Structure 1
Amino acid sequence: MYILGISGYYHDSAACLLHDGEIIAAAQEERFTRIKHDLKFPINAVDYCLSEAGIVASQLDHVVFYDKPFLKFERILETYIAFAPKGFKSFSASLPVWLKDKLFQKTIITKELKSSLGDDVDWNKKLLFSEHHLSHAASAYFPSPFDNAAVLTMDGVGEWTTTSLAIGNRNKLEVHKEIHFPHSLGLLYSALTYYTGFKVNSGEYKIMGLAPYGEPKYVDTIKDNLIDIKEDGSFALDMSFFDYCTGLTMTNEKFDELFGAPPRKPESELTQREMDLAASIQKVTEEVVIKLAKGVAKETGEKNLCLAGGVALNCVANGILLRENIFDKIWIQPAAGDAGGALGAAFGAYHIMLDQPRAPSSGKDKMKGAYLGPSFSPDDIEKSLKDCGAVYSTYTESEIIERTAQALAEGKAVGWMNGRMEFGPRALGGRSIIADPRSPTMQKLLNLKVKYRESFRPFAPSVLREDVAEWFELDVDSPYMLFVADVDKSKRREMTDEEKNLFGIDKLNVPRSEIPSITHVDYSARVQTVHFDTNPRYHKLISRFKELTGCPVLVNTSFNVRGEPIICTAEDAFRCFMGTELDMLIVGETLLLKEDQNASLKENYETKYEFD
């Protein structure tokens, strides 16, 4: 049985294909169109999924959309009525869009399927709809390594739900509790994202990265005015401070008065105030997540927890949750945002709607390391590079590993395209930029001259699973870079009194450990454990780097520049290589050096993409 899951029309459109409950392929549309967070119908991702399976569209048994447009429209309509006459202008502007496009998405999706995949199939009969948070919950539980688990989903909003608690048991998944719009932890975090001058639905992770530079001075202000948090983690927002229900912005003038200034203008200078606001909303988010988890554990008695929804990408909160030992084990869907809804919709249809059995747990999850996207043959790679005008050499795998490890040990920054592309927002050694974490200047170099992004943003370490406990205060699998842990005390550098008295961004250039390029200002790191069984070549590379340097860790950041989707193809890799100050590019068995390339092929990547 083939089931295609799709998400789209809001942000991060994606497609996923299951065959008899096994994930065959999954990818986001942005990787093919090169439009960040592309929201259009994911036809390129669908085509890829069918191609990967080697099937034609008529072999699909069902197509499942990840939410229910009618319920979403009901929420929007009831919200505007509740707040009337306020917001009539934005309502009148959005209504024609809903009546023309969104409300009749079944018709639109059917037309897309017909025009893209052929009109010889009755797509109306094959098309199913899931609910948004049920899709999130299914994406968290069904691929997890657990036979039984509590499932917590947290995001901005689906149809009505913003937070949900479900319980998974074999092939059953039942929602037990929900918190409804407009009360939303995700939207509260997005409100502070907007207020501090970053873009909603993409800048939230910047707030998380900025938080350690600040002091949580505004926690009481937020808790006394914006959010009422109960002991079980349930919460309610005071909507008089927000404008997202009826307006075109997240916050309003009352919000400005509370914090004493209007929102920061995007791309203007960051001040200590923004850092303190970031630290404060991060602290409040952590409190809500911990209380929710404790409430879930007490109510359900479950020993395992699964997480999904955009808030589940807050790896700092996840790391604290892990250390609290509320649950024996925690598993987080690597594509926890809306892209993962495509996967959850497919799983939900297979197990819940069609009552298909779920195999007993083998102790490993079913995500295949999240390497679910396209890969390319050596011949395809060479043809693509020739067409780009690239100068390259071809080597065996062992030669590629040796030359790359040597280059890394010499301080070079390397573009690394290896095997299948990752599904989700993190690069995990399939489409990564990698470097030596021992360099005290590598973080600044990568941010300013390769990624073209804000200097404060941290980089993650890829570490061999067998060595993680020696280098970090963590000894569990973290293959999807979703837990933050502190660098082990034995690897840290003691700061001088003068350094300890620095504030804000002044802390940035102070080395804090033997691996300063991945050590954040609070000694933390967003850890990815690398496993031989899911990514053998990346594991071999780090192992060889360890033999050369004694360090089983690499800097790992996504292979793209600011505002660009992560690369997918060899052409994408070469363009990004030529548009940045990367020194070396590895694409499969091919190796490219910057000095060998035709300088006329260089692009100005610093201004090529819109700011994220």
Structure 2
Amino acid sequence: MIDRPLDVIAQSGWRRAVDSDCDDIGAGHAGLDSIIYSPCMMMGQKVSYFTSSHERSHLLCAYGLSPFPQGQPCYALIWEGQFGEFYRIDKDVNITSLGRVIDSPGDRFAFLYGLADPTFNLRPGQIRLSDAGKLMAIAAYGKTDKIDEDGQHIIDVLLDKHIDFRTISKEHFQSSPYYNIGIEHSRFATLAYHFSNAIFEIFYQFAKDVIFDRAPLLIVGGCGLNCDWNTKWIETALFSDIFVPPCSNDSGSAIGTAIDTLFHTKGIAKIRWTPYAGESAYDDIENPSHFSQEQYSPRRVAELLDNGCVLGWVQGRYEMGPRALGNRSILAAPYPRGNLIRLNRIKNREGFRPIAPLCLEEYMGDYFHPAHPSPYMLEFRKVISNVIPAVTHVDHSARPQSVNESQNPRMHQLLTEYKKVSGIGVLCNTSLNFHGRAS
């Protein structure tokens, strides 16, 4: 892949067991000063070996991809499966922890989902990685009324900083009415809503006490994909700006370690990048004769979509990170509401999961508020139009991706043609993959 001798081999830190502080991979999972840089041999060549912690990989990913110039001090928040911590990155890219807020915020979300799911039977400290995102979707169905006493007890226990969360078993709540209540029960949705708000409030109150200027905030970690929370951070007005990379979860760890390597060896902590930096697609069908084939025409595709077709769409290189941003998508019309059901069935997903919209950037204000660009699909917006029901969540929100001509020319062209055909500058967009698969 590389046509010249290697300089450095970089490895992101990790550890083999969640509940173990030993058996590190590379520089390990946690630690701001966990850096190893030493000579080694690879394929008969003398190279340098670099590794830094998983914690640093998140921070350098967000810092290196952010639009702020090197030397601009920033705050950073890592909230993911295990980390829940604020940091300050100074003008020299020195990183200081401002304090751990709460351990395992993402895993606590996943645990609550498992509590209500009768099929969940893992041991204490174990979770299913996909459950956190599902609970975040369910929270939108919850009522804003006061939570009942049983629900408040669960919230109090799960968010008690003095309890080792990883020792709590689902069976701890066996006498609770929420135990195996069912993930689509309306009462559980209200618990999920209040639980989500309670976690955010803990982090918000902590941030108010530790920040001392209005420097920008970098948000990273798997919970950085929570569009509701991202929007809430913007609404707090605590920070001059907020940046969330499209690969905020662990898919950005390798990039973060590469940036950390560049900074350690060259003093450079910024890179040029595009979200379309994944693998190129390849043909895996030798004989496509059983498919009908025709020359690509954006007008023809727009008409098919308007007539109710659901289409797989592949162009260029895949997006980095988990979100489809117009290069590896399943596309459909944003109406009728039944298209939401169709797409979730195609992907074997739960029916409560929302489908995201693609929107022409110049027409964002016709469908969403606020109307400013959202190129990476990482914020919630209020839907202000009734013509896009398939991408309108139950709480009248959506997580749109705005598309302009320079960002993704071919998708912008298709959306433009679709607006000419249908009068609407929005399409349903979900990742071209099956449930539980990256691509």
TM (normalized to structure 2)?
Answer: 0.84
1-structure distance, mates of 2:367, 2:291: 38
Q: Residues 237 and 392 (structure 1 numbering): CA distance in 2 closer, same or farther, change over 3 Å?
A: farther
2-structure distance, mates of 1:319, 1:276: 20
1-structure distance, mates of 2:90, 2:245: 14
Superposition map of 1:21-60 within 5 A: 50=1, 55-56=2-3, 59-60=5-6
Residue 198 (structure 2) pairs with residue 284 (structure 1) = yes
Give yes or no for contact 1:546–1:552 (8 Å, CA) kept in 2.
yes
Residue 44 (structure 2) pairs with residue 120 (structure 1) = yes
Q: Which residue of 2 aligns with 1:391?
A: 291
Q: CA shift at 1:408, angstroms?
A: 1.1
Give yes or no for contact 1:226–1:237 (8 Å, CA) kept in 2.
no
Q: Percent identity?
A: 29
1-structure distance, mates of 2:45, 2:188: 54
Q: Which residue of 1 aligns with 2:172?
A: 254
Residue 62 (structure 2) pairs with residue 151 (structure 1) = no
Q: Which residue of 2 aligns with 1:215?
A: 143
Give yes or no for contact 1:193–1:200 (8 Å, CA) kept in 2.
no
DSSP-derived class of the 2:85 partner:
strand
Q: Residues 292 and 564 (structure 1 numbering): CA distance in 2 closer, same or farther, change over 3 Å?
A: same
DSSP-derived class of the 1:477 partner:
coil
Give yes or no for contact 1:155–1:163 (8 Å, CA) kept in 2.
no
Residue 321 (structure 2) pairs with residue 424 (structure 1) = yes
Q: CA shift at 1:530, angstroms?
A: 1.1
Structure 1 stretch displaced more, 415-424 or 217-226:
217-226
2-structure distance, mates of 1:485, 1:446: 21
2-structure distance, mates of 1:542, 1:254: 51
Q: Which residue of 1 aligns with 2:430?
A: 557
1-structure distance, mates of 2:24, 2:223: 27
Superposition map of 1:300-311 within 5 A: 301-311=213-223
Give yes or no for contact 1:289–1:321 (8 Å, CA) kept in 2.
no
Q: Which residue of 2 aligns with 1:354?
A: 265
Residue 395 (structure 2) pairs with residue 522 (structure 1) = yes
Q: CA shift at 1:391, angstroms?
A: 2.7
Superposition map of 1:183-194 within 5 A: 183-194=103-114
What value does the CA root-mean-square deviation take over the aligned residues?
2.9
2-structure distance, mates of 1:465, 1:318: 20
> Can you list the C-alpha shifts for 1:456-488, whole angstroms capped at 9, x where unaligned?
111001111121122111233311111011112
2-structure distance, mates of 1:237, 1:421: 43
2-structure distance, mates of 1:129, 1:446: 41
1-structure distance, mates of 2:84, 2:236: 24
2:158 aligned partner, one-letter code: L
Q: Residues 328 and 162 (structure 1 numbering): CA distance in 2 closer, same or farther, change over 3 Å?
A: closer
> Can you list the C-alpha shifts for 1:247-282, whole angstroms capped at 9, x where unaligned?
xxx63433444x345446xxx673223323322222
Q: Residues 385 and 261 (structure 1 numbering): CA distance in 2 closer, same or farther, change over 3 Å?
A: closer
2-structure distance, mates of 1:316, 1:354: 38
1:291 aligned partner, one-letter code: Q
Q: CA shift at 1:130, angstroms?
A: 0.9
1-structure distance, mates of 2:94, 2:129: 28
DSSP-derived class of the 2:428 partner:
strand
Residue 330 (structure 2) pairs with residue 409 (structure 1) = no
Structure 1 stretch displaced more, 183-192 or 205-214:
183-192
Give yes or no for contact 1:64–1:127 (8 Å, CA) kept in 2.
yes
Q: CA shift at 1:293, angstroms?
A: 4.3
1-structure distance, mates of 2:297, 2:205: 48
Q: Residues 291 and 401 (structure 1 numbering): CA distance in 2 closer, same or farther, change over 3 Å?
A: farther
Q: Which residue of 1 aligns with 2:370?
A: 474
Q: Residues 391 and 304 (structure 1 numbering): CA distance in 2 closer, same or farther, change over 3 Å?
A: same
DSSP-derived class of the 1:354 partner:
helix
Q: CA shift at 1:237, angstroms?
A: 4.8
Give yes or no for contact 1:435–1:555 (8 Å, CA) kept in 2.
yes
Q: Which residue of 1 aligns with 2:32?
A: none
Q: Which residue of 2 aligns with 1:270?
A: 184
Corresponding residue to 1:204 among 132, 137, 141: 132
2-structure distance, mates of 1:168, 1:317: 25
Q: Residues 270 and 522 (structure 1 numbering): CA distance in 2 closer, same or farther, change over 3 Å?
A: closer
2-structure distance, mates of 1:318, 1:190: 19
1-structure distance, mates of 2:103, 2:438: 31
In structure 1, the gaps of 5 or more residues are 1-49, 79-97, 107-113, 229-235, 360-364, 492-512, 567-612
Q: Residues 224 and 453 (structure 1 numbering): CA distance in 2 closer, same or farther, change over 3 Å?
A: closer
Q: Which residue of 1 aligns with 2:36?
A: none
DSSP-derived class of the 1:428 partner:
coil
Q: CA shift at 1:431, angstroms?
A: 0.5
Q: Residues 173 and 538 (structure 1 numbering): CA distance in 2 closer, same or farther, change over 3 Å?
A: farther
Residue 354 (structure 2) pairs with residue 458 (structure 1) = yes
Q: Residues 269 and 293 (structure 1 numbering): CA distance in 2 closer, same or farther, change over 3 Å?
A: closer
Q: Residues 366 and 471 (structure 1 numbering): CA distance in 2 closer, same or farther, change over 3 Å?
A: farther
Q: Which residue of 1 aligns with 2:159?
A: 227
2-structure distance, mates of 1:484, 1:205: 14
TM (normalized to structure 1)?
Answer: 0.62
Corresponding residue to 2:9 among 60, 63, 66: 63
Q: Which residue of 2 aligns with 1:25?
A: none
2-structure distance, mates of 1:478, 1:289: 24
DSSP-derived class of the 1:408 partner:
helix
> Can you list the C-alpha shifts for 1:286-307, whole angstroms capped at 9, x where unaligned?
32343344345x33x1331111
Higher share of residues assigned helix: 1
Superposition map of 1:582-597 within 5 A: none
Give yes or no for contact 1:138–1:173 (8 Å, CA) kept in 2.
no
1-structure distance, mates of 2:268, 2:316: 31
Q: Residues 292 and 467 (structure 1 numbering): CA distance in 2 closer, same or farther, change over 3 Å?
A: farther
> Can you list the C-alpha shifts for 1:464-517, whole angstroms capped at 9, x where unaligned?
1121122111233311111011112xx2xxxxxxxxxxxxxxxxxxxxx22100
Q: Residues 224 and 68 (structure 1 numbering): CA distance in 2 closer, same or farther, change over 3 Å?
A: closer
Give yes or no for contact 2:13–2:26 (8 Å, CA) kept in 1.
no
Q: CA shift at 1:326, angstroms?
A: 2.4
2-structure distance, mates of 1:553, 1:402: 15
Q: Which residue of 1 aligns with 2:52?
A: 130
